[in-house]
Chains A and B, each alone.
Chain A
Amino acid sequence: MIHIIFIFSKLFGDHSGPIDGSIVTTIIAIEYDGGVVLGSDSRVSAGDSVVNRVMNKLSPLHDKIYCALSGSAADAQTIAEIVNYQLDVHSIEIGEDPQVRSAATLVKNISYKYKEELSAHLIVAGWDRRDGGQVFATLKGLLTRQPFAVGGSGSSYVYGFVDAEYRRGMNKQECQQFVVNTLSLAMNRDGSSGGVAYIVTIDKHGTEEKVVLGNQLPTFFDQ
Chain B
Amino acid sequence: MAVEYDGGVVIGADSRTTTGAYIANRVTDKLTRIHDKIYCCRSGSAADTQAIAEIVAYQLGFHSIELDEPPLVETAANLFRASCYRYREELTAGILVAGWDKRKGGQVYSVPIGGMLVRQPVSVGGSGSTYIYGFMDANYKPGMNKEQCMEITAAALSLAMERDGSSGGVVRLASISEEGVERRVILGNQLPKFSTH
Contacts and interface: CB of A to CB of B under 8 A. Distances in A.
Interface of A: 2-3, 6, 10, 13, 146-148, 156-166, 181-182, 185-186, 188-189, 220-222
Contact of A159 (B140, B141, B159): B159
Contacts of B190: none
A24 B155 CA distance: 29
B159 A221 contact: no
Contacts of B160: 160
B22 interface: no
B135 A221 contact: no
Given A163-B163, A185-B134, A189-B137, 20 more contacts: A2-B163, A6-B131, A147-B196, A156-B130, A157-B131, A158-B135, A159-B132, A160-B132, A160-B133, A160-B135, A160-B163, A161-B132, A161-B135, A161-B137, A161-B138, A163-B162, A164-B139, A164-B155, A164-B194, A221-B137
B133 A189 contact: yes
Given A147-B196, A159-B159, A160-B160, A221 B142 contact: yes
Contacts of A220: 137-138
A192 to B, nearest CB: 13
Nearest to B162: A163
Chief secondary structure at chain B's binding surface? helix
Contacts of A13: 130
Most buried by B among A157, A158, A164: A164
A9 B30 CA distance: 27
B133 A147 contact: no
Nearest to B164: A6
Interface of B: 130-142, 155-156, 159-160, 162-163, 165, 194, 196-197
Contacts of A182: 134
Contacts of B136: 160
A181 B155 CA distance: 19
A166 B131 CA distance: 15
Chief secondary structure at chain A's binding surface? helix
- The list of the 7 closest CB pairs from A to B, nearest first, reads A158-B134, A161-B134, A160-B135, A160-B132, A160-B159, A185-B134, A159-B131
Contact of B138 (A6, A146, A181): A181
Given A157-B130, A157-B131, A164 B137 contact: no
A105 to B, nearest CB: 21
Given A147-B196, A147-B197, A159 B138 contact: no
